[in-house]
């Protein structure tokens, strides 16, 4: 394993310092934003709103301060209940992506270039329609609200909050809408859009997107970022004069669940998720094999309960991380444990059928159990209603992924394979059985699911799940260890899934990239790895002797509890900005480099003219964005594919037409 990252400790507490945060923005924003109450904010997400938690949290926090919020974005997954049930949040403006129907998919297969061009135009028209003509004409409850601001009878938004990426055409649409609606443009940087195309830096599409991000970033009223590294990057490279760091933090509903909540969750998943049930059956069989091997004397010294109490000698020479141990520990850990079985037993008992724990309803468990117990692989409920974690439970690992190329799931599969070989060989008899649940949706899911099924591990079971918003925090909180495979395309964003795991009190093993140290401190609240070998060694170190108390994993868990919540963080760093936005007469800040990049040059609207357009700024404020939109519509379909692929598509289409008419 590589050398451990150095984390300087606080001399008074002996703990690593909290991640740096910007000073209070109340004084800083006073010179930029007018001191008017914010009444209405439009949030634009060019994606599934239900899969954009940060934007939902913005809406939730704004609504809690009495602000009306209009959510515009793609339909799909349900939003969190705090957003759906809020009378101040209007979620009725969600729409299906353009050309998402059957005929659109057919057009995409037959003529992709035509499909891309039509989709870009349709998306542009729909977004401008929503931002300029619809947003604000109705309250969250559907009631009309009058406005004397000069643009119809709509309640003009005080601000439009848009996430980046995707960069185009969203940023251009919001910029023009802010001009027409005379409101503030708030740009929330989640990542750098031009880094996400997977092609070289000289590609025309990358060049256009990078210039567009810089152009609109300099002209936004406020720029919010998810990390200090991103704030510094856009300032140095895009000339954005001032950015405000609003870290992702977990809301209150990300917490460690109680044992009854875990029991109900595992029971529900076993009934409703066949993949989860199959993993349960596989681990049940592995546990039964180990128990029979121990009875036959082939599993090493002592039985499973004896091995459960063995300590970790820590002399394997692997350079494993040693976190600060918790001063006190409990046998009732917040996650899981290990099976009291040995992996080095007799492998000839393959004909044994496991007990039907996985697919049997709890009522049948109770009828078939003499003691009247209701059991899952992790928990039990006695006849008198007492819930307990099983002492022979496997370790539960959770990884949340979007199944995209920037998350190489093969790293985790290879690490699990190494862990399984070491466990099955009997070299480490105190290692537990392991169950890995991978949540999320994405384009590469089918490919990696096929690899998972081909792995054929004997002591590790991997399954996938897509959970309801209410169940996702429960699963994270039930885990013993989180795995993050996010490798930033830009190197300056932070994975929100790690924040969610920390909120549930779960330590994390995360793949290394440059600014990860703002979130994960190696050897304190998690581990950082660079390849599958390091991850396998870390899993061995953290799960050794599981689930007994006082382990290295417990030390991490005690440190993870010191996490700030979303509401506290947002109220301190974001609300002072939104509370002063109001309806800006000056509009978004317009800056142009004069000597020093990013020096202020004025706004869209001139105060000297009483809020009207300035004479010299009209061309820059309207003509330039409109021209960029036209260039985008013309160039994107052609730049996204090479001439060779275009010719191949044309030949394939001609061949299909020829076969159809002959």
CB atoms within 10 A of CB 111: 17
CB–CB of 476/451 below 8 Å?
no
Please report whether residue 662 resides in a domain. Answer: no
Asked if residue 175 belongs to a domain, the reply is: yes
Asked if residue 165 is part of any domain, the answer here is yes
Residues 129, 49: one domain?
A: yes
Residue 107's nearest CA partner among 637, 631, 634 is 637
On whether residue 7 sits in a domain, the answer given is no
CB 25 within 8 A of CB 244: yes
Same domain? For 532 and 598 the reply is no
Q: Are residues 450 and 467 in the same domain?
A: yes
Q: Which of 368, 347, 255 is nearest to 296 (CA)?
A: 347
Q: 47 vs 75, 102, 274, 649, CA distance in Å? A: 8, 19, 29, 27
Tokens of 15: 């703990």
CATH number, domain containing residue 433: 3.40.50.2000
Helix axes 274-295, 259-272, angle to 10 degrees: 110
d(C-alpha 43, C-alpha 216), whole Å = 17
Give yes or no for a cis peptide into 602 (omega within 30° of 0): no
Q: Give yes or no: residues 42 and 162 share one domain.
A: yes
Q: What is the model's pLDDT at position 579? A: 87
- One domain, residues 541 and 593: no
The answer to whether residues 507 and 482 touch, using CB atoms and an 8 Å cutoff, is: yes
The predicted pLDDT at position 611 comes to 34
Task: For 432-468, write each residue's pLDDT tens digit.
Answer: 999 999 998 888 888 888 888 888 898 999 999 989 8
Hunting for tokens 């039509």 — which residue is that?
A: 118
Query: What is the model's pLDDT at position 38?
Result: 79
Of 563, 595, 621, which residue constitutes the final position of a domain? 563
The helix/strand/coil state of 247 is: coil
> CA 632, CA 208: separation in Å to the nearest integer?
8
Helix (H, G, I), strand (E, B) or coil at 180: helix
Tally the domains of the chain: 2
428 and 544 in contact (C-beta within 8 Å)? yes
Question: Are 505 and 588 in a shared domain?
Answer: no
In this structure, are 273 and 243 located in the same domain? Answer: no
What H or E segment, with its residue span, contains residue 625? helix 624-639
Neighbours of 646 (CB within 10 A): 15
State yes or no: cis peptide before 217, omega within 30 of 0.
no
36 with 113, same domain: the answer is: yes
Could you write out the three-class secondary structure of 370-412? CCCCEECCCEEECCCCCEEECCCCCEEEEEECCCCCCECHHHH
Gap between the Cα atoms of 172 and 161, Å rounded: 13
Q: What pLDDT does residue 403 have? A: 86
Whether 134 and 103 map to the same domain: the answer is yes
Q: Is residue 652 part of a domain?
A: no
Q: What is the pLDDT of residue 344?
A: 36
β-strand pairing of 434-439 with 395-400: parallel
- If asked whether residues 216 and 351 sit together in one domain, one would say no
Sign of CA dihedral 652, 655, 659, 661: positive
Q: Which residue is it, tokens 């978004």? A: 588
Domain end call among 545, 563, 581: 563
Domain boundary among 563, 596, 630: 563
Structural domain that includes position 114: 26-249+570-644
Mean pLDDT by 10 residues, the chain (662 residues): 41 43 38 57 95 96 95 94 94 89 82 82 90 66 38 67 93 93 94 89 90 96 96 96 93 95 95 91 80 44 33 38 39 37 35 35 41 86 92 94 85 95 84 94 88 88 91 96 93 94 96 94 94 96 86 89 91 92 48 35 33 38 54 49 49 63 60
Query: 168: which residues sit within 8 A by CB, 6+ positions away?
Result: 193, 208, 209, 212, 632, 636
Asked if residue 413 and residue 349 are part of one domain, the reply reads: yes
Tell me the per-residue pLDDT of 377-432, one tens digit each, with 9 for 90 and over: 999 999 888 999 999 999 999 999 888 877 889 999 999 999 999 888 877 788 99
According to DSSP, the residues that pair with 189 across neighbouring strands are 164, 225
Same domain, 549 and 576: no
Domain assignment of residue 234, yes or no: yes
Please list, in sequence order, all residues whose beta carbon lies within 8 angstroms of the beta carbon of residue 629, skipping any fewer than 6 positions away. 124, 169, 172
335 occurs within a structural domain: yes
Cα–Cα dist 330/489, whole Å:
40
Cα–Cα distances in Å, from 242 out to 25, 158, 230, 442, 574? 11, 20, 12, 34, 14
* Three-state secondary-structure class, residue 480: coil
Has residue 574 been placed in a domain? yes
At residue 415, the pLDDT reads: 96
């Amino acid at each position: 394993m590589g050398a451990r990252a150095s984390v300087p400790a606080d001399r008074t507490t002996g703990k690593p310092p909290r991640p740096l945060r910007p000073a209070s923005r109340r004084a800083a924003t006073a010179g930029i934003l007018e001191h008017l109450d914010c009444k209405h904010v439009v949030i634009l997400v060019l994606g599934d709103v239900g899969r954009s938690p940060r934007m939902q949290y913005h809406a939730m926090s704004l609504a809690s301060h009495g602000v009306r919020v209009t959510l515009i974005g793609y339909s799909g997954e349900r939003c969190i209940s705090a957003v759906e049930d809020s009378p101040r949040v209007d979620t009725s403006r969600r729409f299906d992506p353009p050309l998402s129907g059957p005929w659109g998919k057919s057009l995409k297969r037959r003529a992709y270039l035509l499909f891309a061009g039509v989709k870009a135009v349709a998306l542009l028209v729909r977004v401008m329609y929503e931002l300029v003509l619809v947003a604000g004409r109705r309250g969250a409850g559907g009631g009309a609200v009058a406005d004397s601001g000069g643009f119809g009878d709509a309640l003009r938004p005080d601000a439009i909050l848009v996430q980046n990426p995707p960069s185009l055409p969203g940023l251009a649409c919001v910029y023009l809408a802010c001009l027409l609606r005379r409101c503030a443009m708030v740009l929330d940087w989640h990542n750098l859009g031009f880094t996400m195309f997977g092609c070289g830096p000289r590609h025309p599409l990358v060049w256009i997107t990078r210039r567009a991000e810089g152009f609109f970033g300099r002209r936004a009223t406020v720029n919010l970022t998810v990390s200090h590294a991103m704030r510094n990057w856009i300032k140095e490279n895009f000339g954005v004069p001032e950015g405000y760091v609003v870290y992702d933090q977990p809301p209150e509903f990300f917490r460690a669940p109680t044992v009854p909540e875990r029991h109900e969750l595992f029971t529900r998943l076993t009934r409703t998720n066949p993949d989860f049930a199959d993993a349960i059956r596989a681990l049940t069989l592995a546990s039964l094999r180990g128990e029979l091997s121990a009875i036959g004397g082939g599993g090493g010294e002592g039985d499973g309960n004896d091995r459960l109490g063995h300590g970790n000698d820590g002399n394997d020479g692997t350079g494993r991380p040693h976190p600060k141990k918790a001063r006190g520990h409990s046998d009732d850990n917040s996650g899981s444990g290990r099976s009291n079985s040995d992996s080095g037993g007799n492998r000839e008992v393959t004909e044994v059928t496991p007990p039907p724990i996985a697919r049997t309803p709890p009522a049948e468990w109770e009828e078939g159990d003499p003691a009247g117990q209701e059991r899952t692989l992790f928990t039990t409920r006695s006849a008198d209603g007492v819930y307990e974690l099983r002492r022979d439970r496997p370790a539960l690992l959770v990884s949340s992924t979007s199944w995209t190329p920037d998350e190489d799931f093969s790293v985790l599969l290879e690490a699990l394979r190494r862990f399984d070989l070491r466990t099955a060989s009997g070299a480490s008899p105190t290692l537990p059985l392991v169950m890995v649940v991978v949540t999320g949706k994405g384009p590469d899911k089918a490919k990696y699911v096929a690899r998972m099924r081909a792995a054929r591990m004997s002591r590790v079971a991997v399954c996938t799940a897509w959970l309801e918003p209410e169940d996702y925090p429960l699963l994270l909180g039930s885990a013993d260890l989180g795995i993050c495979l996010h490798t930033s395309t830009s190197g300056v964003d932070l994975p929100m899934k790690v924040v969610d795991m920390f909120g549930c009190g779960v330590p994390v093993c995360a793949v290394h990239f440059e600014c990860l140290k703002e979130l994960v401190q190696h050897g304190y609240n998690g581990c950082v790895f660079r390849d599958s070998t390091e991850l396998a060694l870390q899993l061995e170190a953290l799960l050794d002797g599981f689930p007994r108390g006082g382990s290295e994993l417990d030390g991490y868990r005690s440190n993870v509890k010191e996490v700030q919540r979303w509401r506290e963080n947002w109220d301190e760093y974001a609300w002072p900005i939104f509370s002063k936005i109001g309806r800006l007469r000056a509009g978004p800040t317009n800056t142009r480099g004069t000597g020093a990049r990013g020096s202020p040059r004025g706004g869209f609207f001139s105060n000297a003219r009483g809020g009207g357009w300035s004479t010299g700024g009209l061309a820059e404020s309207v003509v330039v964005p409109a021209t960029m939109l036209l260039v985008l519509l013309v160039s994107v379909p052609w730049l996204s594919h090479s001439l060779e692929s275009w010719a191949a598509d044309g030949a394939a289409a001609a061949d299909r037409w020829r076969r159809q008419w002959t």
